[in-house]
Amino acid sequence: MTRPNILMIMTDQQRRDTLGIYGCGWIPTPHLDRLGQAGAVFEHCTVDNPICTPSRASIFTGKPVPGHAVQRVHDNLPPDEVLFTERLRREAGYRTAVFGKLHVSSRIQEERQRHPHDGFDIYEWCLEPSVSIGSPFNGYAAWLRETAPDFLDALQRNGRKELHHPEAQHMSKWAADRTIAFIQSMKAERQPFFCLMSLFDPHDPYEDYPLTFGNCIDAAKIPEPVVSRTIQPGCVRQEQQGSYLGRFSDFSAEEIRKIRLGYAASIAFLDKQVGRVLAALDEAEMTDDTLVLFLSDHGDQLGDHGLFVKGVALYEPTVGVPLLLRWPGHVNAGSRCTALAQGRDVAATCLAAAGLDTQSCPESEDLVAMASRNATRRSSAICAYRNSGVNDSGSFWDPPMRATMARDQRFKLTLYTNGGLSERELFDLQTDPRETVNLSGDPTHAPTELMLLGDIAAFLQAEAAGAAPRATSSLPNAAQRMQNRIK
């Protein structure tokens, strides 16, 4: 078997409905749209967790959240976990590289040390432009130090308040430049490669985009936030009041439009960078031999349902992400896959493409096979929030908030728990794709709700069974055992 090159392009906090290939009419994404047209577009990709660190841990281990134990944004991936990139390098002879964000462990951990099984030969890490600038692993900061020291000084002084980064010095362009250079360096090699181009955009604070790209967005076409028509669960209302971005009620309509415009401009800019990278593949005559994956780690509410960014509320803008797959000769161009894909399926996909077994991640499925069959083994996609995000004080919620979501092709049920309170939301994504009317408790939909609740219960049971025991044990030896039989 000839092992393909694998190019994985990953964005941060990009919701599915922001690409033209998914019907977006207000953000120009011509390069990503062409990528989708040349391969498979996954209509229903759901993240395993709506927060960066747990979601990325699932993507790179191929495991659901209980499997790798990274539940919260500041958790660290256990040292015995192995990223699929390590297996590609060790077992299949891949040359591996990362340019940008990894974030399978906390920011504090990753700025100080690499995970022992990250699997990258070339490790040019950068969480985001103005964070961890002094880290010895920060490839972007090292590049700025050599090419644009004045801009690096501005980032150090102003942090996230440094707005409208110049195109030439932008992190997204740096990641694209380094990816292109890596592709060019591998042209004459017989060794296959895995390259991760991992961007920070379109993550908040939304105003790092090059100023000219704001002109790409027609402000008149920016959609208004979605408003729920039924009372939302207590967990959701608590997130609305305590979001780390600020209370929705404190933002004006114009301020929300500004957030949405910045988010869209960042996507338009990163689309240009993706186009440059794909053109480099063409120029190197490597397109036919390269599996390209594009996805994001989670989405962003952008004011929908009275919410910002991401958190306990498992609505589609947060849990539904774009997933595009191109591999000439293996994935049919122009195909639309409606199977229930999840973020963790990336691991099995890359391992299988390289001819490796997927026994290390049995709950991850090969997306190439999924696209061919338009089917998956799972009866529903599960997303699990385990007090994963922080509130406006930068602390985890107390009492802890948990949410577990199960969705099939049409319906989605979310179980929210906070202290002793349990509430549910059920949506018909076919007739109510904006999730405005909660159908939980409606007798008409009781069989569907019961079925999805059964999937959630099965997930919770498996999660509990896999939890580490807290109690110690003192086992009796043979002489100390009690004689219990009475007959």
pLDDT digits (tens, 9 = 90+) for 220-261: 999 999 999 999 999 999 999 999 999 999 999 999 999 999
Same domain, 411 and 332: no
Same domain, 423 and 378: no
Same domain, 216 and 276: yes
Task: Give me the pLDDT at residue 221, please.
Answer: 96
Whether residue 213 has pLDDT greater than 90: yes
Helix intervals (H) in 357-484: 367-373, 446-466
Q: For the residues 315-324, what does the mean pLDDT come to?
A: 98
Task: Give me the pLDDT at residue 471, please.
Answer: 77
- pLDDT confidence of 1, banded at 50, 70, 90? low
- Residue at 376 is within a domain: yes
pLDDT digits (tens, 9 = 90+) for 145-180: 999 999 999 999 999 999 999 999 999 999 999 999
Contacts 24+ apart (CB under 8 A), 132-139: 132/107, 135/110, 135/111, 137/110, 137/111, 138/111, 139/99, 139/174, 139/178
Same domain, 128 and 221: yes
Same domain, 432 and 377: no
Whether residue 468 has pLDDT greater than 80: no
DSSP 333: T
Same domain, 368 and 422: no
- Residue at 483 is within a domain: no
Whether residue 430 has pLDDT greater than 70: yes
What is the C-alpha separation between 438 and 364, in angstroms, rounded?
31
Task: Give me the pLDDT at residue 478, please.
Answer: 84
Same domain, 164 and 209: yes
- Residue at 203 is within a domain: yes
Task: Find out whether 355 and 291 touch, Cβ atoms under 8 Å.
Answer: no
pLDDT digits (tens, 9 = 90+) for 283-311: 999 999 999 999 999 999 999 999 999 99
**In which domain, by residue range, is 111 found?**
5-384
The radius of gyration of the chain's CA atoms, rounded to the nearest angstrom, is 23
Contacts 24+ apart (CB under 8 A), 219-224: 219/257, 219/261, 221/25, 221/26, 222/26, 222/257, 222/260, 222/261, 222/264, 223/26, 223/260, 224/253
Same domain, 460 and 340: no
- pLDDT confidence of 467, banded at 50, 70, 90? confident
Domain boundary among 325, 351, 384: 384
pLDDT digits (tens, 9 = 90+) for 95-135: 999 999 999 999 999 999 999 999 999 999 999 999 999 99
Same domain, 196 and 314: yes
Task: Find out whether 299 and 318 touch, Cβ atoms under 8 Å.
Answer: yes
- Residue at 392 is within a domain: no
As a whole-number percent, the residues of the chain with pLDDT over 70 amount to: 100
- Residue at 390 is within a domain: no
Same domain, 210 and 298: yes
Domain boundary among 331, 359, 384: 384
What is the C-alpha separation between 38 and 335, in angstroms, rounded?
8
- Residue at 32 is within a domain: yes
CATH number, domain with residue 83: 3.40.720.10
Task: Give me the pLDDT at residue 484, please.
Answer: 75
Same domain, 356 and 248: yes
pLDDT digits (tens, 9 = 90+) for 354-405: 999 999 999 999 999 999 999 999 999 999 999 999 999 999 999 999 999 9
Structural domain total, the chain: 2
Domain boundary among 384, 409, 427: 384
- Residue at 63 is within a domain: yes
- Residue at 356 is within a domain: yes
Same domain, 411 and 348: no
Task: Give me the pLDDT at residue 486, please.
Answer: 76
Give this prediction's pTM.
0.96
